[in-house]
Structure 1
Amino acid sequence: MRPAPELDAERLAAWLDARLGAPAPIEVEAMKGGGSCEIFAVRRGDAYWVLRRAPARASSSTAHDVLREFRILDAIKDEPVRIARPILACDDPSVAGTPFYLMEHVHGVPIRATLPPAYADSGEAQARALTELIDALAELHVVDWRRCGLGDLGKSEGYLARQVPRWLAQLDSYRCRALPAVDAIARWLTQRLPKEQPPALCHGDYKLDNVLYSTDLPARALAVVDWEMAAIGDPLVDLAWALIFLPQEGNPLALGAAGQPGGFVLAGLPSEAELVARYAARTGRDVAALDWYRVFSPWKLAIVLEGASRNGGAETRATPARTFRSDGRSPARPGRGADRGRGGGLIRPTTRPAQTATAASPAAKFGTKQGEREGRSGMSEAGGRALEGRVAIVTGGSKGLGLAMAKGFARAGAAVVVSSRKLEACERAVREIEALGARALPVACHVGDWAQCDALIERVWQEFGRIDVLVNNAGIAPVAPRLLDVTEALFDKTMSVNLKGPLRLAARAAERMTAGGTILNISSVASVRPNSFTAVYAAAKAGLNVLTSVMAQEFAPKGIRVNAIVCGTFWTDSFRAGVPNDEAAEMASRGNVLRRVADPEEIVGTALYLVSDASSYTTGQLIQVDGGVLP
């Protein structure tokens, strides 16, 4: 971890003198620095405060917004909640290098690796530590945040629905390996989303080591600290997050050295069910759906830890303390013992999600287009925002692979146009995309009708004034047992949607595209391995393969690239309907070396690569994504 830039004690002292009256020297001790917020203990006469400063280079625009933290704490300081009271805030970076705020020092310790020594031999104190944890959370969740002036803190509606997409986007910013279990749980969570709870002011990282406890008996939770993830949202997210770190038999995440010397003695502690009931009684909340949150919390933690592993464990160590004074004299050490300076959140490993991709991750290699290229390597500070500022059209975008790609592009920063035959389906998809915080536009279009293709391109041009990405994904795959069974209507319809439409859309979109535009055609392994059942569909997709090469050649002088993904078998509504049981699904997957059918999301990464600057030297290619189709 980088040492924090030293704080100019003289400048800070002058700033304090101007606001607090009589001049007085100050002593400042740096307690933590680096990617996380930097913490300093500040002494001025008899006063002892904690200064929380944004890092010189924050990992996101919101994760280290210390003025936002101050605003929250200042708004609830007169409520019956347990906080370190805020004192002053400063938005002038010339005073301390970055914005900061001061809060009172709380003489307490977090429960992390061990318990406070006074608790070690007291079963009553240990049990009380857990009930105090729940009581402090309940007190927070019953605060009338609107009356406190926090009504504009964030969008409270749809909070829970945004969580899974948000954390998947976080994972996508540094994902560099397949995580099928994480993806499967994401689908489970999405399909079983519970009814939204009445919103509350939530801490966002509530657990034993973000609460300062008394060092003497009786055990008391004195102050909740580290508010950088606070939001208006679903309070059961806070509760479930706290539960996964509780001392329980066999829990590897337990804080407080459960079952170890100096730690919690498991016998005699209140059960999780008792703690949940206590919370429900104090808040009046319905906790019947808590199992969903119990699944969501460790799933979210897995994403956090995946990011930490990509960052090499960054943001988990404290820097050595450094002390400097405004009067230049040798500092005196505060004799506070093990908890010295912890008030307000000093020296702690963070479990906050990393907000930027690491240089090693594939997402970090995707460039952005902001007037000029940021380098042929595709590297940019945007990390996972590979398509920031771009406009992408996805035909057949209302469900299946099309919707998965549309969401993937949205997470990467694009405005997405969802096109499909039925406007209602497009509108449903757009609502899902907008829940990710992205702009989206629904446009009904039957791609087999060239007039509708032309209208689609014109509508996008009028709405956005640019077209950067076109994905020809819309397709149909009717089957006929024999060639003799192919009707003229079946043939014409199949060719119209799978071949005729993509040709027209590509030609019209290329007219509007500038250098850096990309066209992606979605083909099928049937185009290179046909059979009698798929003859017409395979012929149409083979034609699309040919068009991919022709388009690449024709559009190259304009700087437009064209590629195709040759997809193997993946789950769609129609395919799922035709696979009645697990045995049939297993048989369907025997044609590839991975021995399984793909999820649409597993193709999105390749699509994102091909429409981003990461593939800037790739055009006219047919990229097979088929699980290793056997010869």
Structure 2
Amino acid sequence: MHTVPDGVEVVASWERACHLDNPPLLVLDAVAGFLDAHGIGSGPLTWQRIGDGHSNVTYLIQRGGECVVLRRGPRPPLPRSTHDMVREARIQKILGGHGVPVPEIVAVCEDESLLGVPFYLMSRLDGTVVTDTIPAHLSPAEQRRATSEAVVDTLVALHSIDVTGGELASLGSPEGYLRRQVERFRGLWEVNTTRSLPAVERIGNWLGRNVPTSQVASVVHGDYRMGNLMFAPQAPARVLAILDWEMATLGDPLADLGYLTATYSEAGSPVTPLELTRVTRSPGYLTQRELAERYRSRTGLDLTPLPWYQTLALWKAAIFCEAIYTRWQRGERPHDTAFGPSLETGVPRLLERAGRYAGLTATTRH
């Protein structure tokens, strides 16, 4: 844990930030004042950046024996309708009331003067996020399988919630969700790239011509993967919380399944920038096909069109990653020495894999 500011990212006060080229992400006296207003701890605070997010930023804040997690968006300017922390907190409050495992929302700050953007505080959970290493308690073969099964079963439970009435109905309109996704991301490519990658248009056109009919409507997480799940700190494998609700809305549940399976690492699959939980390449974990079959057996949904959803997932991911690559090229990610530069070839790899799900090749013109 840090007790002193580290310059660009964190400062003691706004007065200390006046000489910086970019606004800080954390202003300690502003956060302390917000904690005071909500009766959270006392005295000096310590902080630690946590998570693997390349978009929103999350900090563990400790003060006087109390711990909370602070989540905020990136530095302004922010694209409209993205990085909406107030909405993200509201979604979790609503879903928590429906039994979805989410962190408790402690407080929400809509006042942008404190940190430059809205933010919220949530409870700290004692758990494990599985990414590069397998926790000892989840390492035995039966726990590896149970971990994979818990990923699927938690998604099935989320998708089984009735979204036809009450507060949940206010989270979005499921009608036309898939077509809106295609059109929205087609537009995002045009404003977030400085290079020509014809596969983006080719795959986008294929998606637009082949939009499947949604079978049901559900809550859609939008970034559902093992790395956004927190597991209990002891066996058996059990999901304590689903994290990162920024892109949640109402729509087609197979969009989540398509993303989960298309980005899921398994032995023999090509490496992409979205390989964020590499451990599932190890023996004992379910394969992509087994994940999908378990989901199908529990929901009864027809997975014949799943390749379309997998194509959509990787095509969207390529466009999102291109925006990160462009910001890195412009010098807006000065401390990013690995992920940003890797996207020069990483984005084309995502598009190549998306094209394979669509049945398109690099030379196909449809």
- Place the TM-score, normalised by the shorter chain, in its bin: 0.7 to 0.9
* Alpha-carbon distance in structure 2 between the residues aligned to 1:102 and 1:148: 25
Residue type of the alignment partner of 2:81: T
What SS is found at the alignment partner of 2:157? helix
Map of 1:291 onto structure 2:
307
- d(CA) in 2 for partners of 1:136 and 1:318? 35
Distance change (3 Å), C-alpha of 1:96 and 1:194: same
State which of 1, 4, 9 in structure 2 corresponds to 1:3: 9
Where 1:39 maps in the other structure, the secondary structure is strand
* Partner SS state of residue 311, structure 1: helix
Judged with a 3 Å threshold, the aligned counterparts in structure 2 of structure 1 residues 48 and 186 are, in CA distance, closer, same or farther, namely: same
Q: Determine the C-alpha separation between the residues in 2 that align with 1:118 and 1:25.
A: 36
- State the distance in 2 between where 1:213 and 1:318 align: 30
Residues 1:271 and 2:277 are matched in the alignment: no
Q: How far apart are the structure 2 equivalents of 1:175 and 1:24? A: 46
Conservation of the 8 A alpha-carbon contact between 1:75 and 1:148: no
- Deviation at 1:264? 4.4
1:111 aligned partner: 130
- Give 2:168's aligned residue: 150
Task: Give the 5 Å matches for 1:329-368.
Answer: none
Letter in 2 for 1:275: L
The offset of 1:288, in angstroms, is 3.0
**Residue 58 of structure 2 aligns with which residue?**
39
**CA separation of 1:111 and 1:177: change in aligned 2, threshold 3 A:** same
1:127 corresponds in structure 2 to 145
Deviation at 1:49, TM superposition (A): 1.2
Partner of 2:14: none
Q: Counterparts of 1:183-332 in structure 2 under 5 Å? A: 183-251=201-269, 252-253=271-272, 254-258=275-279, 264-266=281-283, 268-312=284-328
Farther off after superposition, 33-42 or 127-136: 33-42
1:159 aligns with 2:165: no
> Does structure 1 retain, via aligned residues, the 8 Å contact 2:229–2:239?
yes
Q: CA, structure 1 residues 196+88, in 2 after alignment: closer, same or farther (shift >3 Å)?
A: same
2:73 aligned partner, one-letter code: A
Judge conservation of contact 1:118–1:215 (CA < 8 Å) in 2: yes
Task: Give the structure-2-normalised TM-score.
Answer: 0.75
Q: Which amino acid aligns with 1:291?
A: P
Report the residue type matching 2:322 in the other structure: E
Show CA shifts across 1:311-343 (max 9, x none): 338898989xxxxxxxxxxxxxxxxxxxxxxxx
Q: How does 1:7-22 map to 2 (within 5 A)?
A: 7-20=26-39
Q: Distance in 1 between matches of 2:235 and 2:65?
A: 26
Match in the other structure for 2:18: none
2:182–2:204 contact (8 Å) kept in structure 1: yes
SS in 1 for 2:222: coil
1:73: Cα distance to partner? 0.6
1:59 aligned residue: 78
Query: Which residue pairs with 1:182 in the alignment?
Result: 200
Amino acid at match of 2:133: T
Q: Is the 8 A contact 1:7 1:97 kept in 2?
A: no
CA separation of 1:149 and 1:295: change in aligned 2, threshold 3 A:
same
State the 1:144 CA deviation. 2.6
Secondary structure in structure 2 of the residue aligned to 1:223: strand
Distance in 2 (alpha carbons) for counterparts of 1:189 and 1:230: 21
Looking at structure 2, the residues matched to 80 and 180 of structure 1 have their Cα atoms a distance apart, in angstroms, of 44
Q: Does 1:82 align with 2:101?
A: yes
| 8 A Cα contact 1:32 1:318, kept in partner | no
Q: Contact (CA 8 Å) 1:123, 1:265: kept in 2 or not?
A: no
Alignment RMSD (CA, Å): 3.4
Distance in 1 between residues matched to 2:58 and 2:225, nearest whole Å: 20
In structure 2, relative to structure 1, the CA distance for the partners of 1:316 and 1:8 (3 Å cut) is closer
Q: Which amino acid in structure 1 is aligned with residue 101 of structure 2? A: R
Q: Secondary structure at the match of 1:150?
A: helix
Q: Which letter does structure 1 place at the counterpart of 2:278? A: A
Any gaps of 5 or more consecutive residues in structure 1? 320-348, 354-595, 600-631
In structure 2, distance between residues paired with 1:220 and 1:13: 34
Per-residue deviation, 1:97 = 4.1
Q: Secondary structure at the match of 2:86?
A: helix
Q: Say if 1:32 and 1:212 are closer, same or farther in 2 by CA, change over 3 A.
A: closer
Distance (whole Å) between structure 2 residues aligned to residue 11 and residue 184 of structure 1: 48
Distance 2:54 2:9 in 1: 10
Change (3 A) 1:59 1:288: same
1:35 Cα offset (Å): 7.6
Shift in Å, 1:230: 1.2
Alpha-carbon spacing, 1:318–1:205, altered in 2? closer, same or farther (3 Å): farther
- Cα-to-partner distance string for 1:533-561 (whole Å, 9 max, x where unaligned): xxxxxxxxxxxxxxxxxxxxxxxxxxxxx
Name the SS for the 1:173 alignment partner. helix
What one-letter code is carried by the residue in structure 2 that aligns with 1:257? R
1:275 Cα shift?
1.9
Question: How far did 1:202 drift?
Answer: 1.1
CA-CA distance at 1:101 after TM superposition:
1.0
Taking structure 1 as the reference length, the TM-score comes to 0.46
Does the 8 Å contact 1:87/1:101 carry over to 2?
yes
Counterpart of 1:306 in structure 2: which amino acid? E
The 1:57/1:175 distance shift into structure 2, 3 A limit, reads: closer
Whether the 8 Å contact between 2:72 and 2:119 is mirrored in structure 1 is: yes
Of the candidates 129, 136, 156, which is equivalent to residue 154 of structure 2? 136
Q: Give the distance between the partners of 2:294 and 2:333, measured in 1 at CA.
A: 33
Q: Which residue of 1 aligns with 2:117?
A: 98
Q: Tell me the distance in 1 between the aligned counterparts of 2:98 and 2:289.
A: 28
SS at match of 2:212: coil
Whole-Å Cα distance in 2 between the matches of residues 55 and 309 of structure 1?
Answer: 15
Q: Which has the larger radius of gyration?
A: 1
Count of equivalent residues: 319
Change in Cα spacing, 1:290 to 1:315, as seen in structure 2 (3 Å) is farther
Distance in 2 between residues matched to 1:107 and 1:176, nearest whole Å:
43
